[in-house]
Structure 1
Amino acid sequence: MKRPFTLLLCIFLQSMYMYSVAQKPAPSPDPITSGAKIAVVQTEYGKVRGYIHNGIFTYKGIPYAQAARFMPPVKPASWEGVRSSMTYGPVCPLIDPTTAVNDESEFLFHHDWGYTNEDCLRLNIWSQGINDTKKRPVMVWLHGGGYSAGSSQELPSYDGENLSKKGDVVVVSVNHRLNILGFLDLSAYGEKYKSSANVGMMDLVAALQWVKGNIARFGGDPDNVTIFGQSGGGGKVSTLMNAPSAKGLFHKAIIQSGGGGLNFKEKSISGRISAAVLEELGLKSTQIDSIQKVPYDKLAAAGKKALRKVQEQLKAEGKEIPGFGLGWGPTQDGTFLPYQPTAPEAIALSSDIPLMVGSTKNEFMASLRDPSLRTASQDEIKARLQKQYGEKTDAYLSAVKKAYPADTRPTDLIDIDDMFRRGAIKQADLKSTGKAPVYMYLFTWQSPVQDGEYKAVHCMEIAFAFNNISRCEEMTGGGKEAITLAQKVSQAWINFAKTGNPNHKGLPVWQKYTPANGATMIFDNQCVEKYHHDKEFLEITPSRML
């Protein structure tokens, strides 16, 4: 019995050797090495060829699945020969195509909008070695932009090269279906469309399945996968933690400014939205299949009108509207997402997944929404606060001073985020009831660019987590303080991906979070751990639904 098995094993190993010789980057005088036989890896669907940049094997635009409009993803078609995978693939079409930008903020963010196509199920990989037996931790990045916009290449901070190089981790980033393409609930119109409300999230499960089946050939360990994301990407991490079909495909999770993952749409709401879309398109329920051929711009316009219409209806009915308005996102459909995130059954699904969760100090601050506040005096800021807090204004000011005693600018009194921070705490409180550890952080470092007016704005910490200060000098200033802090932040992310514990010698001891201790690592020029430092501030500010 043993000899046939041994013979088969030898044949298998020999065939593997024929197409997947272990590679490490050879010394080169040039930053980039590329060519017909460079960085070739066999996947389940065919060979892909990337390139080597600064010693990191790099692959872009690899298909991980395919899907018809509103249909669940299926495995990608196989190909013959070697597929060139050296540039980013298509991104999901945007509801509102970018035709103009704000000059100042675009200087900071430096968006790369990419090119659009509904066939956008692609992923990118960065690794120090391929076709070897080294089991590197895998970090799968889920981009921001809510559930409606963004891509894996949208911001320069998303590039995985420096993170891979620093931590010897395999970094993966993913494109998937968004907005009306990913989250239009047509389940009321036939069995064919039963999954349509969540196909955008099902794409991410398909990506994780691809990682499980293929990442070992790119030097990664399929049994040590961390999913991490910021803003909408953080919400997607939270959503996957509540998806039974994602169970076992990842082992740790990091949620950055992603408090929006705490509520899924009820089918009663998603059904009203889809009915309004059909009404806008002039389609009867018997004509539902026609929606698959509606041009995207017409479909997107109908979706926008439908969302506005249903939001106005809900307001008239006295229903609560999310802080950023009614938008596209996951639905509690009873199958892909059987529970709301706050349900005990949902919490139990990911009870064994270590979690790191946090936000930035200033997020969508008041002076970002109203730049005229930047030149306001302290008295003018206090007068504005008086209109909002009335007799509680002094208590508010006292709470701000207690939470952040080093703040000096007038706008510091009004620019502190309470929405994302509150969401992060709620997620941590819920998760801490399980057996896996929870670590909380708050990124408070203030960027010096543009006279320091952007502070610790939404997205600021991403460049630090990816160790990408040099790629994001417009946002961070690129100075020594930023570089030093990035070393600390990125190492925490790396250590967490490796072990489920972010502690390292560059930080003070970072305790596990509990609702009782409120332990929060403050990332700043001087990193410290604090305990319920902003409790009074959060108690006095209004609770807003994300």
Structure 2
Amino acid sequence: MKRIVLACGILFSGWIAQAQITTGSNVGVVPTESGSVRGYVHGGIYTYKGIPYAEAARFEAPHKPKPWSNVRSSYTYGPVAPLLDPTTNVQDESEFVFNHSWGFTNEDCMRVNVWTPGIKDGKKRPVMFWIHGGGFTSGSSQELPSYDGENLAKKGDVVVVSINHRLNILGYLDLSAYGEKYKYSANNSVLDMKAALEWVKNNIEAFGGDPSNVTIFGQSGGGAKVNTLMAMPSAKGLFHKAINQSGAFRSEMLSKSTTQAITAEVMKALNLAPNQADSLQKIPFPVLANAGKKALQVVAAQLKAAGKPVGGFGLSWGPSLDGDVLPYQMSSKEALDLSKDIPLLIGTVKNEFAPFANMAMANATAAEVEAVIQKTYGAKAEAYKAAVKKAYPNNTRPSDLLDVDRMFRPGAVEQANVKSAIGGAPVYMYLFTWQSPVADGKYKAIHCGELPFCFNNIARCEEMTGGGKDAYVLADKMSQAWINFAKVGNPNHKGLPAWPTYNATNTATMHLDNTCVVKPQLDKDLFAL
């Protein structure tokens, strides 16, 4: 009996050592401009969640939050932006892989989360400012388990920050024609992100961070938001490096005439006259969202009839040219000059959404895949197969011929080519090709698949990564590259082969896999098709 009790005691003490958390009224208290906040310590990392960085009336510009006098408890994530289509059901297997945390919604959603190795210690650590994906319409800072900043903060001695902000119609409805208080409403979501960066500038030193060394990074829609901030004159100086992960979309921002046409259709759908625009501030969100959907459909049809582009994903809510907050198209010389001195790390994952599109073919035979290719590409079938094999000579499964991304990577290559050509700060290109073993390997290098690796969160994301040894080894290499880039603008470290700066001539691309290797661009023929 003594031996059993002793063994249980040893086991119990081991659990405590692994999962110790420190909380209390005087634990992790940090002052901010609006009032003091209290966090908790887990794994040696001070953690703060749901701190207000701004507030705003619906459709109005953000401003600093009302101050509070007591110490504000900051233990749990704050509200997320209301969604156009609330999740009421999911696909079982893919939901297992992504393991979403949907959160609770509230229009008062401007919140910041912070992970830091130390407070009040005089250190100035690099700040890694994470912007979530979900396009410009959905998502949150807590949506995926990979977004947790604890391991990245601990590994790199950096401060990790993530934010929630207004999205969809709440962040992008252009009411500028209906009153001065709505002057910036077409880009309020972008102003929210700027407000969060200003919060970092004014408060992050108290959390052990360096406001003069801030890296913005984001994936998918978050990567597109990184590009947006790089083209925003008033955001210049609030960040110093940028990482764009699968977010270099090539469609142009909407014009003022289009955004105002969308708003006119929203007003029409709600039977509101121009002098009733203030009524939009009180309409229930689901009613407003449905009116927005109708308006987008109407204007998309008008643009299509006029022979004008409606964007690769169709007409949707997002940043637009307003002549003030965003005066330039992101690919314009003026916008590129704004971010000329910002080092850029940019890349995509090998398969992105392609495995979803071809899920029925995941275990198809070579003959079945050949039939699909012949039907899809006709006279170009042989050229297509040759181009895929040239780009990825180590493919092994028949379905690999179908599952190569051609939606995200072309934009990343184009952006890297253009930015590297202006002779400013360096550009580094990556391609994540690691194949997940989960569900018989059919998800491959899927969209979001690199996130557990750059955040060093394999254990939190076993459903996506499998949690095997190879995943941990690659995560160690990738997270260190992201950390080094945030520190000095260069991702090189001794765990990787030499990673050259990218230009349109050398097209040097780090392939991130079980064996990491630098290759030139091998998919030019595929892009041409």
TM superposition score normalised by structure 1: 0.92
Name which of 301, 306, 326 aligns with 1:312: 301
Match of 1:81 in 2: 70
Letter of the structure 1 residue corresponding to residue 247 of structure 2: G
Match of 1:339 in 2: 328
User: What is the alpha-carbon distance in structure 1 between the residues aligned to residue 192 and residue 112 of structure 2?
Assistant: 11
User: What is the alpha-carbon distance in structure 2 between the residues aligned to residue 316 and residue 129 of structure 1?
Assistant: 58
Letter of the structure 2 residue corresponding to residue 380 of structure 1: E
Contact preservation (8 Å) 1:73, 1:206: yes
Shift of 1:260: 2.3
What SS is found at the alignment partner of 1:259? coil
Match of 2:129 in 1: 140
What SS is found at the alignment partner of 2:212? strand
* 1:430 paired to 2:408: no
What SS is found at the alignment partner of 1:472? helix
Name which of 396, 408, 424 aligns with 1:408: 396
Contact preservation (8 Å) 1:347, 1:434: no
Match of 2:405 in 1: 417
Shift of 1:538: 1.4
Matches within 5 A, 1:94-493: 94-260=83-249, 263-365=252-354, 367-432=355-420, 433-493=422-482
User: What is the alpha-carbon distance in structure 2 between the residues aligned to residue 94 and residue 533 of structure 1?
Assistant: 39
User: What is the alpha-carbon distance in structure 2 between the residues aligned to residue 267 and residue 472 of structure 1?
Assistant: 42
Match of 2:9 in 1: none
Shift of 1:210: 0.3
Letter of the structure 2 residue corresponding to residue 49 of structure 1: R
User: What is the alpha-carbon distance in structure 2 between the residues aligned to residue 225 and residue 420 of structure 1?
Assistant: 26
Letter of the structure 2 residue corresponding to residue 425 of structure 1: V
Letter of the structure 1 residue corresponding to residue 126 of structure 2: P
Contact preservation (8 Å) 2:429, 2:502: yes
What SS is found at the alignment partner of 1:512? coil
User: What is the alpha-carbon distance in structure 2 between the residues aligned to residue 368 and residue 30 of structure 1?
Assistant: 37
Letter of the structure 2 residue corresponding to residue 116 of structure 1: T
What SS is found at the alignment partner of 1:419? coil
Shift of 1:173: 0.3
* 1:533 paired to 2:522: yes
Shift of 1:539: 1.6
Contact preservation (8 Å) 1:160, 1:171: yes
User: What is the alpha-carbon distance in structure 1 between the residues aligned to residue 326 and residue 335 of structure 2?
Assistant: 9
1:140-191 CA-to-partner distances (Å, cap 9, x unmatched) read: 0000000000000000000000000000000000000000000011112222
Letter of the structure 2 residue corresponding to residue 125 of structure 1: V
Contact preservation (8 Å) 1:348, 1:434: no
User: What is the alpha-carbon distance in structure 2 between the residues aligned to residue 321 and residue 396 of structure 1?
Assistant: 28
Contact preservation (8 Å) 1:138, 1:171: yes
What SS is found at the alignment partner of 2:312? coil
Aligned-pair Cα RMSD in Å: 1.3
Contact preservation (8 Å) 2:251, 2:312: no
Shift of 1:318: 2.2
Shift of 1:377: 2.4
Structure 1, 457-466 or 379-388: larger mean CA deviation: 379-388
* 1:511 paired to 2:486: no
What SS is found at the alignment partner of 1:123? strand
Runs of at least 5 residues in structure 1 that lack an aligned partner in the other structure: 1-26, 541-546
1:465-491 CA-to-partner distances (Å, cap 9, x unmatched) read: 000000000000000000000001100
Shift of 1:434: 3.7
Match of 2:60 in 1: 71
Letter of the structure 2 residue corresponding to residue 137 of structure 1: P
User: What is the alpha-carbon distance in structure 2 between the residues aligned to residue 38 and residue 29 of structure 1?
Assistant: 20
Q: 1:312 to 1:29 in 2, by over 3 A?
A: closer
Shift of 1:261: 6.6
Letter of the structure 2 residue corresponding to residue 508 of structure 1: P
Aligned-residue identity in percent: 64
Q: 1:29 to 1:369 in 2, by over 3 A?
A: closer
1:354-389 CA-to-partner distances (Å, cap 9, x unmatched) read: 000000000010x41242222332222222222332
Match of 1:3 in 2: none
Match of 1:14 in 2: none
User: What is the alpha-carbon distance in structure 1 between the residues aligned to residue 234 and residue 61 of structure 2?
Assistant: 13
Shift of 1:84: 0.4
What SS is found at the alignment partner of 1:165? helix
Letter of the structure 1 residue corresponding to residue 415 of structure 2: Q
Contact preservation (8 Å) 1:132, 1:217: no
Q: 1:67 to 1:326 in 2, by over 3 A?
A: same
What SS is found at the alignment partner of 1:522? strand
Shift of 1:233: 0.3
Letter of the structure 2 residue corresponding to residue 308 of structure 1: Q
Letter of the structure 1 residue corresponding to residue 256 of structure 2: K
TM superposition score normalised by structure 2: 0.95
User: What is the alpha-carbon distance in structure 2 between the residues aligned to residue 417 and residue 97 of structure 1?
Assistant: 28
User: What is the alpha-carbon distance in structure 1 between the residues aligned to residue 495 and residue 177 of structure 2?
Assistant: 54
Count of aligned residue pairs for this structure pair:
513
Letter of the structure 2 residue corresponding to residue 215 of structure 1: I
What SS is found at the alignment partner of 2:129? strand
Shift of 1:430: 1.8
1:47-76 CA-to-partner distances (Å, cap 9, x unmatched) read: 000000010000000000011111110011
1:244-265 CA-to-partner distances (Å, cap 9, x unmatched) read: 1110000000000002276211
Shift of 1:29: 7.9
Q: 1:459 to 1:337 in 2, by over 3 A?
A: same
Shift of 1:316: 2.2
User: What is the alpha-carbon distance in structure 1 between the residues aligned to residue 51 and residue 179 of structure 2?
Assistant: 32
What SS is found at the alignment partner of 2:177? helix
What SS is found at the alignment partner of 1:75? coil
Contact preservation (8 Å) 1:185, 1:270: yes
User: What is the alpha-carbon distance in structure 1 between the residues aligned to residue 252 and residue 272 of structure 2?
Assistant: 30
Match of 1:18 in 2: none
